[in-house]
Amino acid sequence: MKTIDDLEVAGRRVFLRADLNVPLENGRITDDGRIRAVAPTVAKLAQSGAKVIVASHLGRPKGAPDPQFSLAPVAVRLGELVGREVAFAADTVGDSAKETVGTLGEGEVALLENLRFNAGETAKDEAERGAFARELAALADVYVDDAFGAMHRKHASVFDLPQLLPHAAGDLVLKEVSVLKRLTEEVDRPYAVVLGGSKVSDKIGVIDNMLGKADRILIGGGMAYTFLRAQGHEVGKSLLQEDQIPACLEYLRRAEESGVEFVLPVDVVVSPDFPDLKTKAPAPHATVDADKIPADQEGLDIGERTRELFAGKLADAATVFWNGPMGVFEHPDFAGGTQAVARSLADTAAFTVVGGGDSAAAVRQLGFKDDDFSHISTGGGASLEYLEGKQLPGLTALDD
């Protein structure tokens, strides 16, 4: 896989696929982590004399322009981070894009409007996707992919476009892949994997693959209640995937046979109703044993004893991968478990990786800094699929 240093970029139009899919609230960026992650690559290309054409998706527009998903605010923030003005094209391959790109000088940067405003970007039909890729290719001379968060998508700008131009991986992608290899091929032990989030079904592939690699697997979040139910416990109104109970039983059995510690909550914080995340008004809650959840209550966080249990299991780990919050971290009454896991990772000397997505949002919202951890991934879904052992289309397209 070639790198930016293998390309001749001076004076050439470089199409940089970035992942600028940041959260917006009333047109304001609430977490610029992904912009900050790719800014060094943008700056590097510009300083090398490239005419930099940055492109990204944002949100899930339905193949047509939608003002709430415009990248216009991102252009402003990217310019602040790279220390130079970023021109903004009001479309992806139309007149505005062609004019904006056509006027770029060496060392200048432009950002195209949301790629997903064009149905060809995400089309399942190869001909439609390929046609859009050819329109994008006409804007550039070379291609660099630094959008690790989109690497698991077989989209035009990720999979088809690099096959049409000289291509290379960006520095962020190389860093992400290097980190993932440390989690799968060059692991320092003990190796602990912490999984949370809402659904077992979202993490089945990771659990399946990690049972052969990790020394300990700690389960929290909404997915824990399906495991508790598999053990025969009442889970009340807690999130439950009945169809995943057989898989949970199988994983518990395999963990015992293979000597992998499989750690479930011993107590949980419950409430009769899901909290109001807009007002964040205080919610009634109590802590109960994990096997004694009342029928009219819903588990929304791990309890204090579980936090201490998890901290103990992480204290001597040499490698930790964490994906998924331990509870409804967006509400202060149910953020304690996620806060405790983040603190355990921040305090350890282990190689610690926060697996993007909600986990990355949670640690930042809870006041942790990026350098409190060895690495915060920019791609939750891509990281999980890599850890499942799947091939990522974006990486495959960059292979020579």
Tell me if 330 is assigned to a ligand binding site.
yes
Q: What is the 3-state secondary structure (H, E, C) of 308-355?
A: HHHHHHHHCCCEEEEECCCCCCCCHHHCHHHHHHHHHHHHCCCEEEEC
133: part of which helix (H) or strand (E)? helix 126-137
Tell me if 107 is assigned to a ligand binding site.
no
CB-based burial label for 253 (10 Å; 0-12, 13-18, 19+): exposed
Buried b (16+ CB within 10 A) or exposed e, 217-238: bbbbbbbbbbbbbbeebebbbb
Task: For residues 228 and 264, give the distance between their C-alpha atoms in angstroms, rounded to a whole number.
Answer: 8
Tell me if 366 is assigned to a ligand binding site.
no
Tell me if 60 is assigned to a ligand binding site.
yes
Maximum separation of any 2 CA atoms in the chain, in Å: 67
Residues 6+ apart with CB under 8 A from 278: none
Tell me if 84 is assigned to a ligand binding site.
no
Task: For residues 385 and 392, give the distance between their C-alpha atoms in angstroms, rounded to a whole number.
Answer: 7
Tell me if 205 is assigned to a ligand binding site.
no
Task: For residues 280 and 261, give the distance between their C-alpha atoms in angstroms, rounded to a whole number.
Answer: 36
Length of the chain: 400
Tell me if 254 is assigned to a ligand binding site.
no
Tell me if 375 is assigned to a ligand binding site.
no
Tell me if 369 is assigned to a ligand binding site.
no
28, 361 contact by CB (below 8 A): no
Tell me if 130 is assigned to a ligand binding site.
no
Tell me if 59 is assigned to a ligand binding site.
yes
Tell me if 153 is assigned to a ligand binding site.
yes
Tell me if 19 is assigned to a ligand binding site.
yes
Tell me if 259 is assigned to a ligand binding site.
no
Where in the sequence numbering do the catalytic residues fall? 34, 199, 357, 381
Tell me if 21 is assigned to a ligand binding site.
yes
Paired sense of beta strands 51-55 and 13-17, if any = parallel
Distances (CA, A) of 393 to 34, 152, 155, 399: 20, 6, 9, 10
Binding region for (2R)-3-phosphoglycerate: 34, 116, 153
Binding region for substrate: 19-21, 34, 57-60, 116, 153
Binding region for ATP: 203, 299, 330, 356-359
Binding region: 19-21, 34, 57-60, 116, 153, 203, 299, 330, 356-359
